[in-house]
Amino acid sequence: MTEEFKSGFIAIVGRPNVGKSTFMNRVIGEKIAIMSDKPQTTRNKIQGVMTDKDSQIVFIDTPGIHKPKHKLGDYMVNVAESTLNEVDAVLFMINAEEGYGRGDQFIIDRLQRVNQPIYLIINKIDKVHPDKLLPLIDQYKEKLNFEEIIPISALEGNNVPHLIKVLKEQLPEGPQFYPEDQITDHPERFVISEFIREKVLHLTREEIPHSIAVVIEGIEPRENSNAVYIQAAIIVERKSQKGIIIGKQGSMLKEVGQRARKDIESLLGSKVYLELWVKVQKDWRNRQIQLSDFGYKEDEY
């Protein structure tokens, strides 16, 4: 470690589906945040730790800030907003393809109360013509006094090294909060459940809204082997959703399990036996006791 070591916490905020999780996975170098083209994929604060020889940046990928429609939505917005004044800087990420929208103003109104430096990150620049960026930059400049405006492509990596350099320059001197080989503060159970939930979102597409949760009910090492046995329940709100996730003769559930097992084996570094089943819990997103049981606890934001 050099004599001057910098460290700090950076929050990533933005409308749903602007690429926050893709950015997190890009800078950390490993998959810790689930990615989906459906909005509101991230439900908890996910901390990703990036460490090099002279700095440690702890990125906090927050749920997309949106007008909530149920108790789960309230939880997600509270998680995001509670983060903003506890960090060293905020990255406000927007989607270059979509441009300015009412959802952005909802977030900007909240950022007006933030004292930390705020960077406007224009993501998905690989999807638009460069001529579209200047008008977009001018439009957002009028909305808030940003520390800097940085266009990037989280998916392709364009300009991401420059963004990291800028952030490192503004970080204060500080300690190394996490061991250099640690990339997230979440327990393995949380990451495993997120991998499973991601596969359900990918495979069911528009048929299943965000009315699913995944609960890990058991993780046990297999005797006399390097394998791990995992039991997990996929929670849905209606019987019709249960049928979709199970699929014809169990085909959908089998595919979810096969895809999730690959990510989990990469995470754990061992062979995994994954047993999945589906449970119906009606209207669980509006019931506080079930939200708490499924890991969305009010006292955690």
Q: pLDDT at residue 148 above 90?
A: yes
Q: pLDDT at residue 135 above 90?
A: yes
Q: What is the pLDDT of residues 66-80, one digit of tens each?
A: 454 545 555 555 655
> What average pLDDT does range 29-58 have in this prediction?
66
> What average pLDDT does range 21-36 have in this prediction?
73
State yes or no: 124 annotated in a binding site.
Answer: yes
State yes or no: 174 annotated in a binding site.
Answer: no
Looking at domain 188-300, its CATH architecture is 2-Layer Sandwich (3.30)
State yes or no: 32 annotated in a binding site.
Answer: no
CA angle 20, 47, 261 (to 5 degrees): 80
State yes or no: 54 annotated in a binding site.
Answer: no
State yes or no: 242 annotated in a binding site.
Answer: no
Q: What is the pLDDT of residues 184-216, one digit of tens each?
A: 766 677 778 888 988 888 888 655 656 678 888
State yes or no: 55 annotated in a binding site.
Answer: no
Q: pLDDT at residue 296 above 50?
A: no
Using DSSP bridges, classify how beta strands 55-61 and 46-52 pair: parallel, antiparallel or unpaired: antiparallel
State yes or no: 123 annotated in a binding site.
Answer: yes
CA angle 141, 162, 171 (to 5 degrees): 85
| Distance between CA atoms of residues 135 and 274, nearest Å | 50
Q: Among 195, 206, 199, which Cα is nearest to 253's?
A: 199
State yes or no: 243 annotated in a binding site.
Answer: no
State yes or no: 20 annotated in a binding site.
Answer: yes
32-36, 150-154, 283-287, 296-300 — which is least confidently predicted? 296-300
Q: pLDDT at residue 301 above 60?
A: no
Quick one: pLDDT at residue 76?
A: 56
Q: Residues spanned by CATH 3.40.50.300 within the chain?
A: 6-170
State yes or no: 280 annotated in a binding site.
Answer: no
Q: What is the pLDDT of residues 223-276, one digit of tens each?
A: 767 788 999 988 888 888 888 889 999 999 999 999 999 888 887 778 899 999
State yes or no: 157 annotated in a binding site.
Answer: no
Using DSSP bridges, classify how beta strands 213-221 and 228-236 pair: parallel, antiparallel or unpaired: antiparallel
Q: pLDDT at residue 133 above 80?
A: yes
State yes or no: 259 annotated in a binding site.
Answer: no
Whether residue 76 contacts residue 110, with contact meaning beta carbons closer than 8 Å, is answered with: no
Q: pLDDT at residue 290 above 80?
A: no
State yes or no: 263 annotated in a binding site.
Answer: no
Quick one: pLDDT at residue 293?
A: 44
State yes or no: 15 annotated in a binding site.
Answer: yes
On whether the 6-170 domain is CATH 3.90.1300.10, my answer is: no
pTM confidence score = 0.61
Work out the number of other CB atoms within 10 angstroms of the CB of residue 119: 20
Quick one: pLDDT at residue 106?
A: 82
Q: Residues spanned by CATH 3.30.300.20 within the chain?
A: 188-300
Q: Among 75, 78, 112, which Cα is nearest to 92's?
A: 112
Q: pLDDT at residue 33 above 80?
A: no
